[in-house]
Structure 1
Amino acid sequence: MKTVLDIRDLKVDFRQDGKLIHAVKGVSFTVGKGETVAIVGESGSGKSVTALSTVALLGDNAEVSGSVKYLDREMIGAPEPVLRDVRGNDISFIFQEPMTSLNPLHTLEKQLAESLALHQGLVGEAARKRIIELMEKVGIDNAERRLADYPHQLSGGQRQRVMIAMALANGPELLIADEPTTALDVTIQAQILDLLAELKEREGLSLLFISHDLGIVRRIADRVCVMQGGEIVEQGPVEQIFANPQHPYTQKLLAAEPKGRPDPVPEGAEEIVRTDNLRIWFPIQRGLLRRTVGHVKAVNAASISVRAGETLGIVGESGSGKTTLALAIMRLIASEGPIVYLRQDISDWRPRDLRKLRRDMQIVFQDPYGSLSPRMTCEQIIAEGLTVHGVEKGRDRREMVAEIMTEVGLDPAMMERYPHEFSGGQRQRIAIARAMILRPRVVVLDEPTSALDMTVQVQIVELLRSLQRRYGLAYLFISHDLRVVRALAHKVIVMKAGDVVEAGDGDAVFDNPQTGYTRELMAAAFGHAVRSA
């Protein structure tokens, strides 16, 4: 097999604040022609730094040594014109979050045309034909009509397909995919993985695939390199690594999956929240007089009930109405139909009356870095709600923050640090602490584990279970990760295009789904067909 990429004793150090940080420590591996090699490991293990080193895409503070050969051409220390020629032409990248990689101010046609003009000199009608061909190749329907669209007009899966089209534009030999499916729904994940496998076969591509999700790696890779602390601790054929892992860290990664079931709901538990045929329609207004010409039917007739100590899992693809339903229950967006909180219908309460409920209804978001102010310390972030709601004015705030930090598994000695000084898992614990310090009755958990490593996911699931056990919390748990939902949820509702298509006991929905859509979700999440009713 011809070697496309040959990395030998790669070392990468970063100079930061006068210190030398050793990010990659002597990494060696190869990628053969038509082969898929996966690099797996937790955040900070050096996966992405290794990939970016291949064509010198690291910052000026990086010191790189060793050897990176692309088709026997040395890339480390190569002149800038050589690197420019290889980037995009021979080695292309697909990144994790397409919305941050695509320019929000440019149409799809303009963004794809830029690469074609730069590398191939294609312009005008020739470029337009090539763009349509690329978009059709990656499975974008009505490609010609979508050329004038902007990134925000596409779904997450469609944006990722555009990124793949851009990566393929110049016929690369090697495709480097850095967490390309992390932010996607399970069904879209499956489609993107199938697309990459198909393109690899059809175009004869070699693929370097970076991920922390071992289920995805097992599905797509030929060989696996396991990274920890900047080193490859184990590598080999995918079947060998999964069947007989030798290194303790690999064994730990393979065992890191949320397991078990939530504690039973206490007998006679009080109903905390209920909705009856809740409807959320957003008006479409046009013309000078802003007449309503139609509605976006975000949620149709959703009826739910959650008791103290109970978790309701809300699953479905992006745009199905999951988060919209939760925000309506918290009275953060308008809706029609009763919302009953502790036997009181709060659907028509005025904002002033709702203020006293805010302490009881808290939310933890998907991206802990985006939801925490970078200008506030950990202590200030967690204590902010105490100030807003005037909670326990006689008590020492610092002492209360220290108590809740200990409870969620954080060292109180770190309360003076800022969010960027914490890992992803620690930031999510801060977000949970901020919600829990107010002792709420209901907590909305909106994709709280999707951005986290598998081992950290397990820790957060255990933390949420213990807090629910201790305080009898009612959870609305929104997620596209059905493995996590199964570990946490007592009941599950499945949403599609605003409709609740299936609802019931968690085990019943997972073990015996009644609708084709639910079976499709299960097959995409667990990698096998689920028996029909």
Structure 2
Amino acid sequence: MAILELDRLTVACNRGDILSGLTFSIEEGETAVIIGESGSGKSMTARAVLGILPDGMQASGAVRFRGESVFHMPASRRRSYLGRDAGIVFQDSSGTFNPIRTIGQHFTELFSVHFGLKGKEAHRRALYWIGRAGITDPARVVSAFPHELSGGMRQRIQIALAASLEPELLIADEPTTALDLNIQAAILGLLKDWKNETGGTLLLITHDLGVAREMADRILVMDSGRLAEEGPARQIFTVPRSRAAMRLADDWRTVGLAPPAEKPGTPLPLLDASGLSMSYRTGGLFRKREVQALDKVSLSIGSGEIVGLIGESGGGKSTLARLLTGIESPQTGTISWHGASNFPEAVQWVHQDSAASFNPGWTAGRLVAEGLEYRGTGRTERERTARRLLSEVGLPPEAAHQYPAELSGGMNQRLALARTIAVSAELVVLDEPFASLDMSTQAKMIRLLRSLCDREGTAFLFITHDIRAAFALCSRIYVIRQGRIEDSGSPEELAASENSYTKRLLEHVPGRGVDLCSHQGGAL
């Protein structure tokens, strides 16, 4: 029996249709997964199902929950539908929480509105659900404010908030994006437990085919606001029929491919770091403690080489990036530079949130030419170089006149790369550059970085928690844990590593049945 039905659903704004003629149903008790590139309409579909479209959007067609029209529910019925019948887990957990209310207050407010529970009973129930989310110290978390929790803990709490109302349908919109692999595994495990224990229906939205492969009974492929294909998970992965599904499968294989064979000979040394240590003092005025961020870390990068650094949040990856780019100096240890230009000017850093490093009032063309302007290059030459570099990173000519806010996340990452090339960087440190990019954009970025490495001879340090991307891109990979290098080697060597931490990271890769080192990308 179908619990949810969409019949020719169309959502439009003044610029045209965002969703067009969506028709599908979800059976009671199944896990349906919507996949597609960014901008394909996945999240807008979720909002339409809940009846919470943004201002300025008009919907036509029908959305029915157990035969009842969502669009025609009176206000009182809509309140019970949202939460009790259908729950939502958003990609950005910060939007769920009121920053001036504790985690416990978020739970007790829900219980008061939907169950009429107050006082000790509501508090007891909040502790129960926080514990169910896999959090070991619910008594501390219940009194904490959202900003005092990590992103992974907030995401777990968000799932617990939605599950605590015992909905029949739970919608999870990109719940694992930008999270460490171990936290991703915990989140997916939590969703599985909810479904197994309640018999509820799960609608999962993701761009990660590994997550889809692990979770789905049935898959719906979206493309440009339309349903391109739907069917059992095995069918979509083995014999996709639509171009959109085939394209996603190709991008999945690209992200899963081992890097091309290394060039003959050993690359010339570019940077050698030996025994780097760094600690910070944290805490209040009277309760300070010292945190060892890095402990005797050593690594090397060759000229024109792509080297990976993988590990969990808090492992020391970003601290090491600040040292290698000269932003901070190590307390102990040395960095030896063998490049043609001076250190650290020849090293550039592309941050995870590249747009945050841009002047929002400057066009892309001016941002690319900024370094050349500081070096005294004439305006005509700067503009010509900017146009050439934007083209080299795959941006259209009109992008030179656009502002960062008008570009997608993937386009801003390409813009950041063009800016580093403009100043002839010999080493580019990429800090979680794929964290919020969909699979298709990741595949394009991998092809671009390989091309820049071959064409320009640029070396890259690729910092990530995404093991699949590191295996696809890097010739050598270092594994960091709690400020220490735990393991290192080629993708093939790490795949066969007996190191317990490396093995645990590999076990948490979604859809881990795929052979990470196969040049065929594994069987889908």
TM-based fold match above 0.5: yes
Does structure 2 conserve the Cα–Cα contact (< 8 Å) formed by 1:467 and 1:473? Answer: yes
1:330-362 CA-partner distances (Å, limit 9, x unpaired): 122342223324259xxxxxxxxx9x7453111
Cα distance between partner residues in 1 of 2:303 and 2:106: 51
Which residue of 321, 345, 362 corresponds with 1:359?
345
Deviates more, 1:409-418 or 1:393-402: 393-402
Which residue of 8, 16, 25 corresponds with 1:21?
16
Does structure 2 conserve the Cα–Cα contact (< 8 Å) formed by 1:65 and 1:76? Answer: no
The answer as to 2:211 corresponding to 1:216 is yes
Task: Point out which structure has higher relative CO (alpha carbons under 8 A, 6+ apart).
Answer: 2
1:395-448 CA-partner distances (Å, limit 9, x unpaired): 621111111111111122321111232233222211111221111011011111
Residue matched to 1:131: 126
Cα distance between partner residues in 1 of 2:9 and 2:493: 50
Cα distance between partner residues in 1 of 2:312 and 2:228: 36
Cα distance between partner residues in 1 of 2:436 and 2:31: 24
Residue matched to 2:243: 248
The answer as to 2:372 corresponding to 1:386 is yes
Q: CA 1:203–1:333 in 2, change beyond 3 Å: closer, same or farther?
A: farther
Q: CA 1:100–1:473 in 2, change beyond 3 Å: closer, same or farther?
A: farther
Residue matched to 1:372: 358
Offset, 1:322? 1.0
Cα distance between partner residues in 1 of 2:200 and 2:79: 20
Residue matched to 2:332: 337
The amino acid across from 2:11 in the alignment is V
Deviates more, 1:26-35 or 1:265-274: 265-274
**TM-score calculated relative to the size of structure 2:** 0.92
Look up the SS of the partner of 1:415 in the other structure.
helix
The answer as to 2:435 corresponding to 1:450 is yes
The answer as to 2:3 corresponding to 1:4 is yes
1:142-186 CA-partner distances (Å, limit 9, x unpaired): 212221122233232211110001111211111100000011111
The amino acid across from 1:173 in the alignment is E
Does structure 2 conserve the Cα–Cα contact (< 8 Å) formed by 1:8 and 1:66? Answer: yes
Q: Which runs of 5+ in 2 are unaligned?
A: 517-524
Offset, 1:374? 3.1
Residue matched to 2:500: 516
1:292-350 CA-partner distances (Å, limit 9, x unpaired): x5311111111011111112210011111111111122122342223324259xxxxxx
Does structure 2 conserve the Cα–Cα contact (< 8 Å) formed by 1:311 and 1:476? Answer: yes
Residue matched to 2:276: 278
Q: Which runs of 5+ in 1 are unaligned?
A: 345-353
The answer as to 2:482 corresponding to 1:497 is yes
Look up the SS of the partner of 2:83 in the other structure.
coil
Look up the SS of the partner of 2:460 in the other structure.
strand
Residue matched to 1:51: 46
1:423-434 aligned at under 5 Å gives the runs 423-434=408-419
Does structure 2 conserve the Cα–Cα contact (< 8 Å) formed by 1:107 and 1:150? Answer: yes
Q: CA 1:269–1:393 in 2, change beyond 3 Å: closer, same or farther?
A: farther
Offset, 1:40? 0.7
Offset, 1:219? 0.8
Cα distance between partner residues in 1 of 2:3 and 2:84: 14
Offset, 1:391? 5.1
Cα distance between partner residues in 2 of 1:279 and 1:43: 40
Identity %: 35
The answer as to 2:162 corresponding to 1:178 is no
Cα distance between partner residues in 2 of 1:41 and 1:286: 46
Look up the SS of the partner of 1:69 in the other structure.
strand
Which residue of 73, 76, 101 corresponds with 2:68?
73
The answer as to 2:451 corresponding to 1:466 is yes
Q: CA 1:285–1:172 in 2, change beyond 3 Å: closer, same or farther?
A: closer
**Number of equivalences:** 511
Does structure 1 conserve the Cα–Cα contact (< 8 Å) formed by 2:325 and 2:349? Answer: no
Does structure 2 conserve the Cα–Cα contact (< 8 Å) formed by 1:135 and 1:162? Answer: yes
